[in-house]
């Protein structure tokens, strides 16, 4: 069941009414000051972003400074340095940025050895006529701009990867620690490591301009070269300076197939609140999830995707497909976690 303040049925009714109205400009109220939002792992990031904005920074520089704290944190195994590696034990990162005032975007995907992929994405935006650079080309571009090539695989992440590899199958030659009496080693832990981490952060600065960033190490133990939603404009994030911004974490494949961040911003343009728009995107993914392997016994998506949105008026909210969750917000009242809406308990 959905959570308050909007039920699923109310949401559908509200969404239909908003469509019928076909409002092309969002309703706005006076904007009272800077605001930043992020996924739940971004409490320090939103605080830093608002600090930077209050010191005069543009929203794009502010959100990047915010997520840099998480990219460099060895204890966050879902982003940047310390992120869980691909199936071969190599950390591959994805990131995108979008700058509201210029409508420009920049992104990198499958980049290796660069601790701050969000900064490289910003360089793509500012120092190329392109939007997306990938793999070796992205790394060479970063090197050209003075980014050091570093080993991003921490001992902690390496040990988790080794445990995953050793428990992937009881029919290969990798063995987890075991005693002389143990049989049938492996496989049991496999599903425990199906996880997607990421940080998204969007903000409005003192000029009322909006910008966004999403950065991630992606799906843990992914097939090398797999790219999720985070570096794809319109999926992992979208920003329109006249309307608002949205971003995502969770199962990137579902988001890639539904262009959800673009959808959320367009729903806000039509008059949805940030929460209504995020729930609309969750509902769209649920409607498009047809494969039994992706559903639970009730026919609902068995995975999660979370969305975070703010509008031009500084209203913020988030929603998830499954279960309670919290997102980070910072504004004139300080930084805190707030509850997110959800479609299914």
Name the residue among 281, 334, 285, 335 with its Cα closest to residue 309: 281
Strand blocks (E) in the chain: 35-38, 93-99, 104-111, 132-134, 199-204, 210-216, 237-240, 244-250, 305-311, 316-322, 326-331, 334-339, 341-344
Contact 255, 229 (CB under 8 A): yes
Distance between CA atoms of 213 and 231, rounded to whole angstroms?
Answer: 9
Any bridge partners for residue 106, and if so which? 97
250 in contact with ligand GLY (CB under 6 A): yes
196 in contact with ligand GLY (CB under 6 A): yes
Residue 90: C-alpha distances to residues 136, 144, 146, 147, 214 (Å): 13, 22, 22, 18, 20
98 in contact with ligand GLY (CB under 6 A): no
In whole angstroms, how close is the CB of 107 to ligand GLY at the nearest point? 13
Q: Is 198 one of the catalytic residues?
A: yes
Contact 193, 71 (CB under 8 A): no
249 or 335: whose CB is closer to ligand GLY? 249
6 or 152: whose CB is closer to ligand GLY? 152
DSSP tag of 27 = -
Using the contact rule CB under 6 A, the part of the chain among 42-50, 211-219, 261-269, 288-296 near ligand GLY is 211-219
78 or 167: whose CB is closer to ligand GLY? 78
219 in contact with ligand GLY (CB under 6 A): yes
84 or 279: whose CB is closer to ligand GLY? 84
186 or 218: whose CB is closer to ligand GLY? 218
198 or 209: whose CB is closer to ligand GLY? 198
86 in contact with ligand GLY (CB under 6 A): no
325 in contact with ligand GLY (CB under 6 A): no
Using the contact rule CB under 6 A, the part of the chain among 41-49, 167-175, 247-255, 292-300 near ligand GLY is 247-255
Distance between CA atoms of 117 and 289, rounded to whole angstroms?
Answer: 31
249 in contact with ligand GLY (CB under 6 A): yes
252 in contact with ligand GLY (CB under 6 A): yes
14 or 217: whose CB is closer to ligand GLY? 217
State which H helix or E strand residue 136 sits in.
Answer: helix 135-144
218 in contact with ligand GLY (CB under 6 A): yes
216 in contact with ligand GLY (CB under 6 A): yes
Catalytic residue chosen out of the listed positions 198, 214, 215, 216: 198
Name the residue among 108, 95, 170, 183 with its Cα closest to residue 140: 108
In whole angstroms, how close is the CB of 250 to ligand GLY at the nearest point? 6
262 in contact with ligand GLY (CB under 6 A): no
Contact 227, 110 (CB under 8 A): yes
Using the contact rule CB under 6 A, the part of the chain among 116-124, 152-160, 169-177, 227-235 near ligand GLY is 227-235
In whole angstroms, how close is the CB of 229 to ligand GLY at the nearest point? 5
Within residues 24-83, the interface with ligand GLY by CB under 6 A covers none
Sheet of strand 93-99: strand arrangement: 132-134, 104-111, 93-99, 210-216, 199-204, 35-38, 326-331, 334-339
In whole angstroms, how close is the CB of 94 to ligand GLY at the nearest point? 6
Distance between CA atoms of 218 and 205, rounded to whole angstroms?
Answer: 28
Catalytic residues: 198
Which residues contribute to the site for ligand GLY (CB under 6 A)? 196, 198, 216, 218-219, 228-230, 249-250, 252
């Amino acid at each position: 069941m959905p959570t308050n303040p909007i039920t699923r049925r109310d949401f559908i009714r509200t969404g239909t009414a908003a469509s019928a109205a076909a409002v092309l400009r969002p309703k706005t109220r006076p904007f009272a000051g800077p605001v930043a939002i992020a996924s739940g792992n971004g409490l320090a990031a939103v605080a830093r972003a608002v600090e930077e904005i209050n010191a005069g920074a543009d929203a794009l520089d502010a959100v990047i400074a915010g997520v840099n704290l998480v990219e460099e944190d060895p204890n966050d195994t879902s982003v940047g340095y310390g992120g869980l590696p691909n199936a071969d034990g190599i950390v591959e990162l994805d990131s995108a940025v979008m700058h509201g005032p210029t409508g420009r975007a920049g992104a990198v995907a499958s980049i290796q050895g660069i601790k701050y992929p969000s900064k490289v994405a910003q360089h793509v935006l500012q120092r190329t006529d392109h939007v997306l650079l990938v793999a070796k080309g992205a790394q060479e571009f970063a090197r050209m701009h003075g980014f050091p090539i570093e080993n991003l695989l921490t001992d902690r992440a390496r040990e988790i990867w080794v445990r995953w590899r050793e428990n992937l199958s009881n029919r290969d030659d990798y063995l987890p620690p075991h005693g002389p009496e143990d049989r049938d080693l492996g496989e049991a832990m496999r599903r425990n490591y199906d996880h997607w981490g990421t940080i998204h952060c969007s903000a409005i600065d003192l000029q009322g301009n909006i910008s966004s960033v999403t950065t991630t190490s992606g799906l843990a133990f992914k097939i090398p070269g797999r790219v999720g939603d985070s570096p794809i404009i319109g999926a992992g994030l979208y920003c329109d300076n006249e309307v608002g911004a949205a971003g995502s974490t969770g199962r990137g494949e579902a988001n890639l197939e539904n262009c959800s961040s673009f959808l959320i911003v367009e729903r806000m343009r039509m008059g949805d609140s940030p929460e209504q728009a995020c729930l609309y995107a969750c509902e769209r993914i649920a409607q498009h999830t047809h494969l039994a392997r992706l559903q639970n016994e009730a026919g609902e998506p068995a995975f999660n995707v979370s969305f975070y949105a703010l509008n031009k008026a500084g209203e913020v909210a988030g929603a998830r497909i499954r279960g309670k969750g919290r997102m980070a917000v910072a504004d004139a009242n300080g930084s805190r976690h707030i509850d997110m809406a959800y479609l299914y308990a």
